[in-house]
Amino acid sequence: EVLAGRAHRGLADLVAVNVATLIFLATSQHTLPEALAPREVLASGAALSMLRDLARLSGGSVEAIRGWL
């Protein structure tokens, strides 16, 4: 639900903060707006599309993702 942009706002914010923390620690994104970019990606549902693209590019199964939803 979070990746598809259909989760409760609080849950989506929790995931976004966790992702932002990882981005902050692992990259040069050192401002809050840069680190919180995942919030828009999650809210729009684009995260699910990105996960499907990653599965395709890595030779994985997009069908397996459907099983999680």
* Tens digits of residue pLDDT in 19-29: 878 777 777 76
Kindly give the residue spans of alpha helices, DSSP state H, lying in 1-69.
Answer: 9-26, 32-35, 37-44, 46-57, 62-68
Residue 8: count of CB within 10 angstroms of its CB: 10
Say if residue 10 is exposed, middle or buried (CB neighbours under 10 Å; 0-12, 13-18, 19+).
exposed
Please give the model's pTM, rounded to 2 decimal places: 0.56
9-54 residue pLDDT tens: 888 888 888 887 877 777 776 676 766 677 788 888 888 888 888 8
